[in-house]
Amino acid sequence: MQLSEEQLSFFEEQGFLLVPDMFTKVEVDVLLKEMREVIKEDCPRRILEKNGSVRSFFAPNTTNEVFDKAARYKSLIAAAAKLLGGQIYLHQSKINSKAAMVGDWWEWHQDYTYWKKDDGMPEPNVLTAMIFLNDVTEFNGPMLVIPKSHLAGVVDDAENVAEIEESWYKEYVDSATYLTALTSDLKYTLKQKTIAKWVTKNGMCSARGKAGTVLFFHGNIFHASSNNLSPWDRHAYLLTYNRVDNQLPATDNPRPEFIAMRNFEPAITVETIV
């Protein structure tokens, strides 16, 4: 599957692109089956919600063959490279497991802010491909994006100081500095006045589609998603690709490899994942 000129221009102008049917039902079913096993592992790569359910699971590609192949899937890599205009490598991968009834929100933010401030990534030549593992509707916490907001650059709204009541969850978040970038009390968020200004100008779009759809979104686009109060899961596999010429500089205190990968080699692609 090759992206058309229209799709390329849409991404460049709007900062996101929905591509249906990139993965077949068989492939999605295999990913879902593997996911259920993968997220059982109690380890630092597993991030919990305040209610104790699994929020995210980082770097599943490093321990699971199907997730590894999906991250190197030829059409996905070709599309991401085309959208970014150069060779790419995998910067981050995670499952966001927004389970029915319990999946929590993601506040408004820009991803590149974290990669710039926490990892030193030089430029926003980076995007995320979000593979829908379930049908995403208006009810199960779709991602909301503000079209064209990727053109705003990095918006430096104040750093958020999370107010978490004394609880096991506070202890959990305090236990590792990197957790403030991954839990529902995000470190760098966008403030209401910023969102209001951009929504007034460009509106808002909820990224919906059938399982197997891929949402590509630019590292600087403003995005958020609400709780999943529906009885339907909204699991997704998110792959962040960075341009090889935009790799992370060496640093004394890098974030863990499972959050910011430092193998800058372009992936060897695979034709199929099952």
* CA 142 and chain centroid, separation: 12
Task: Give the H or E element holding residue 237.
Answer: strand 234-243
Cβ proximity to ligand SIN, 99 vs 143, nearer residue: 143
Q: How far apart are CA 113 and CA 125, in angstroms?
A: 12
Contact 116, 156 (CB under 8 A): no
Q: How far apart are CA 181 and CA 131, in angstroms?
A: 21
Between the CA of residue 254 and those of 60, 68, 90, 177, what are the distances in Å? 20, 23, 16, 12
Q: Please give the DSSP secondary-structure letter assigned to residue 53.
A: S
Q: Do the bridges between strand 126-132 and strand 143-145 make them parallel or antiparallel, or are there none, so unpaired?
A: unpaired
Look-up: residue for tokens 């792959």? 239
CA angle 52, 57, 61 (to 5 degrees): 160
Number of residues that bind Mn ion (CB under 5 A): 1
| Site residues (CB under 6 A) for ligand SIN, limited to 117-156 | 143
Examine residue 106 and tell whether it contacts ligand SIN (CB under 6 A): yes
Number of residues that bind ligand SIN (CB under 6 A): 7
Cβ proximity to ligand SIN, 214 vs 236, nearer residue: 236
Cβ proximity to ligand SIN, 74 vs 208, nearer residue: 208
Cβ proximity to ligand SIN, 79 vs 95, nearer residue: 95
Q: Tell me which of 96, 140, 242, 246 binds ligand SIN, using CB under 6 A.
A: 96
Examine residue 225 and tell whether it contacts ligand SIN (CB under 6 A): yes
Residue nearest to ligand SIN (CB): 225
> Binding mask 79-118 vs Mn ion (x if CB under 5 A, - otherwise)?
--------------------------------x-------
Q: Where do contacts with ligand SIN occur on this chain (CB under 6 A)? A: 96, 106, 143, 223, 225, 236, 238
Q: Where do contacts with Mn ion occur on this chain (CB under 5 A)? A: 111
